[in-house]
Amino acid sequence: RLWGNDNVAWCSNPALGRSGGLLILWDSDRGKLLYSFQGQGFLGVCLQWGEKNLRCIVLNVYAPCNLEAKKQLWVELLVAKRIYLADLWCILGDFNSVREASERKGVALTQNRELTKIMKEDQRLFNLLIENLELEDLQLFGRKFTWIQPNGACASRLDRIMVSSNWKDTWGETISVQ
């Protein structure tokens, strides 16, 4: 029993080391699992959803911090979008990337030129990924940042939910509350 519901289905990908375990839950009265797929840093399910039996993909991401490893994950996500066909896509998780400098606080970039260069390249590639996946980044309500260093000195918006435009057309306005 979860959230007052006995009909919860799930799919998981175990952690490697101390991080990276992924889980996707859904109401089995509303959605039927057609198949699941996974790769290094992501877990996806294709669900037949609702009375209209809509085919939708939900993909949970845990991206590495290393830019080179992240680039490989971005390629795998682009390939997955081409292979696993569905009209409705929702990709969510911890991307360990920001889209613009305002999504980061307390990082002294001006002191390290190489770090500044890497972070700007990371932003550029992340925005390009979102564009190539044809996703809309949902507006975040509740908090500006999703990760905050324990002492509060640094904060970033690393977690996000992104959907295909027809996701919003099908289910109306969709928001992310954190």
Residue ranges of the domains in the chain?
8-177
pTM for the model: 0.88
Q: In this structure, what are the phi and psi dihedrals at residue 80, rounded to the nearest 5 degrees?
A: -60, -40
Q: What percent of the chain has pLDDT over 90?
A: 51
Instruction: Report the range of poorest mean pLDDT among 5-9, 42-46, 58-62, 145-149.
Output: 145-149
8-177: CATH architecture: 4-Layer Sandwich (3.60)
Confidence bin at 111 (pLDDT 50/70/90)? low
How far apart CA 77 and CA 41 sit, in angstroms, is 10
Average pLDDT estimate for 148-164:
86
pLDDT of amino acid 178: 62
Average pLDDT estimate for 128-133:
97
Q: What percent of the chain has pLDDT over 70?
A: 93
Averaged pLDDT of the chain: 88
Q: Is a pLDDT exceeding 60 seen at residue 109? A: no
With CA atoms as reference, report the closest residue to 54 among 164, 170, 173, 168.
170
Q: Is a pLDDT exceeding 60 seen at residue 113? A: yes
For 32-85, write each residue's pLDDT tens digit: 999 999 999 999 999 999 889 999 999 999 999 899 999 999 999 999 999 998
CA distances from 136 to 23, 37, 46, 59 (A): 22, 22, 19, 14
Q: How many beta carbons lie within 10 A of that of residue 135, not counting itself?
A: 20
